[in-house]
Structure 1
């Protein structure tokens, strides 16, 4: 076997690497109680049970007239309108031979067993003429038909969205038990980096990775501990890793994870703890490092900005979601689309190419690729709206089916 083949054999396939990472996760367990309006985006730590039946009583599903079916024995019936029941009011016992004007959401009066919609009724003075008889139970929402008191309505481990908060509120729950925010320490490695706003000197570039990382972590609801730029020395890298591990639940670094003389992150992690995973059969983002600094998990991504974005999306994001206590599937879900490009079968690594999904003239979803595939072209990430999954050793022609991971699967 040649050197290139031997090197390629050391790369761990993407699915195996991700499965390994998720198997390493130890979710946080500390939780706190928050008011509903403070709980959006948090992970629920304890299940929620309903305090009431929903609806709490039989109520009208339509505007119309509450009636007793015994009074509807012919095709056209006249009934005296004896009461009016808007939402928020409670009617009285429905006397035989009468109807109650009722509105959506109002409690159905005792002795009524149907609601006639107003479209098949005609008002004539103090009477209503019913031209179409309803079935028993028509247009009545029964008490508890949606939720029963004591029923579990929200499961622990879900990420709380607006609809979850609304459901909790609908059953009288004012506070929720949620996991605390995950603390993630981040730093960038490289003497060539300077912060935006500073003057660039020869050989320097602006530190975009800090803002990409922090932004993606904030979108996931993490508490970010920013350690800034760490100089390219072994001692400084060890110091930054040690401080980060003391403060955070997870340490993320960009840059310094390759094998160059100025790449100190990998040997520093090995000195302070252990390196469990390195090099993935992925393009971009091959040199992904995972290990521990003491007991604190560490993940190191390449310094190239596109590699960082893809590595975080595919590996760090699922790991973080699981650490946050999220249950269920955490890996991004691709959708099947049509290729609007051509690719040969020579690449041995699985590529995640920056792609833009568009509809063609036939209404089909077609993905096109950014023409420059360099992992240093951050503008391509802004141009794209997702990642096209290009399997290894697979030729692709225009019109072939391909998997595509939209950004909305990578950023929430």
Structure 2
């Protein structure tokens, strides 16, 4: 069965392409202290204003000298040099060395003029100002050269890079106190459905607790966005219209869950058509077929399905990459691997299927994967117990145990 057999359903690859071509960075650049910039996207490239390190320095506590003085040093015939001073980190030795001299030096201290090598103190014998060396060191041993890490003018990080805990000390080593980043994306979250109840409320017959809003907001918290929580909106056309209009005025992105199917009380799609425009609706993806994307007067709209697994899958696979672009972040493709499935997988051709699973390495060193059981779109335990998706291609059918499949381990957003 090919794409054309899934009538009215847009293939996933086509939807992803349309999303990326329909959105752009909407976040203005702001200046933040480096200490507050973690998780933000860089608004400009960073070049090193200095050499790092800015001077030749010792990588060890020991003695600095001219390596040529020790070319003949052996355990049987140690060579002795005269100690002429000390160099500490922040308190360098002001003189220079000549042949036959050495200098006590500490880790991070400036190498004295003419010295080219450091010998660890454990490999020396000191008697007053006479220091004996029992072997010839390698030239420039234990010396960190100026610019060894970064050279002045070198590109360090590119515009659009999301700052991680690994980047902050790197930028600090350049002496940069304030940094240009894109402001946080503003995201409004709305749950719709008369059957939904807030946590802690008693459930009447036919009611369920609103879990989607919690899963959406939890994942968004990993994106470093500002979330505007609109709570639960009942299945009422005027109420939904008012909520979406208000969300559009306050946010860059409006995310709803539920109300995008074809039920009589599913008003989200109707309001979207009235207030804005629909980019697409209904995808060849499982779970998550009734996913809607569109534009409102001041924001971008993502209508997630009401089933909890469908909502999470479409948020993660479709809305998150688009929001990253809107926040000024450089796009990064998902990491995928081949693995051997230990289970039979049921699959009807016609839609790309994201089955929840657990991958591991077996005793033979092979990457294997097993499903978490029932793959129903309402079975959220299948998500909680998993660490990856098994991604089954649109045209693929049932899969036998032992076949090779594609897996997508969860990123830090989900893990």
TM-score calculated relative to the size of structure 2: 0.93
Instruction: Give 3-state SS (helix, strand or coil) of 2:283's partner.
Output: coil
Q: 1:333, 1:409 within 8 Å by CA — same for their partners in 2?
A: no
**Alignment gaps of 5+ in structure 1:** none
TM-fit CA distance, 1:293: 1.5
In 1, the alpha carbon distance for the partners of 2:405 and 2:284 equals 19
**Partner residue of 1:179 out of 174, 182, 189:** 182
Report 1:10-409 matches (<5 A): 10-75=8-73, 76-91=78-93, 92-329=95-332, 331-344=333-346, 346-392=348-394, 393-408=396-411
- For 1:271, what is the secondary structure of its paired residue? helix
Shift of 1:83: 1.9
Find the residue that maps to 1:408 and give its secondary structure. Answer: coil
1:234 shift after superposition = 2.2
CA distance in structure 2 between the partners assigned to 1:25 and 1:360 by the alignment: 42
Q: Secondary structure at the match of 2:170?
A: helix
Contiguous gaps of at least 5 residues in structure 2? none
1:358 Cα offset (Å): 2.5
CA distances 1:240-290 after superposition (whole Å, capped 9, x unpaired): 211111111011110010111111111111111111111111110011101
The CA distance in 2 between the partners of 1:307 and 1:276, in whole Å, is: 19
Offset of 1:73 from its aligned partner? 4.6
- TM-score, normalised to structure 1, is 0.93
**Aligned mates of 1:150, 1:271 — CA distance in 2:** 53
For residue 6 of structure 2, give the secondary structure of its aligned residue in structure 1: helix
User: RMSD value over aligned CA atoms?
Assistant: 2.1
CA distance in 2, matches of 1:68, 1:214: 62
- Partners of 1:95 and 1:276 lie apart in 2 by 76
Structure 2: how far apart are the matches of 1:387 and 1:275?
Answer: 28
Number of aligned positions between the proteins:
409
Measured in 2, the distance between the counterparts of 1:411 and 1:46 equals 28
* Partner Cα distance (1:84, 1:183) in 2: 56
1:33-66 CA deviation, whole Å, 9 max, x = no partner? 1112211111111222323211111111233321
For the residue of structure 1 that corresponds to 2:53, the secondary structure is: coil
Contact 1:85 1:106 in 2 (8 A): yes
Q: Matched residue of 2:103: which SS?
A: strand
Q: Name which of structure 1's ranges 145-154 and 365-374 shifts more when overlaid on structure 2.
A: 145-154
Greater relative CO (CA pairs within 8 A, separation 6+): 2
> CA, structure 1 residues 46+6, in 2 after alignment: closer, same or farther (shift >3 Å)?
closer
Indicate how the Cα distance of structure 1 residues 203 and 350 shifts in structure 2: closer, same or farther if over 3 A, else same: same
**Separation in structure 1 between the aligned mates of residue 116 and residue 374 of structure 2, nearest angstrom:** 69
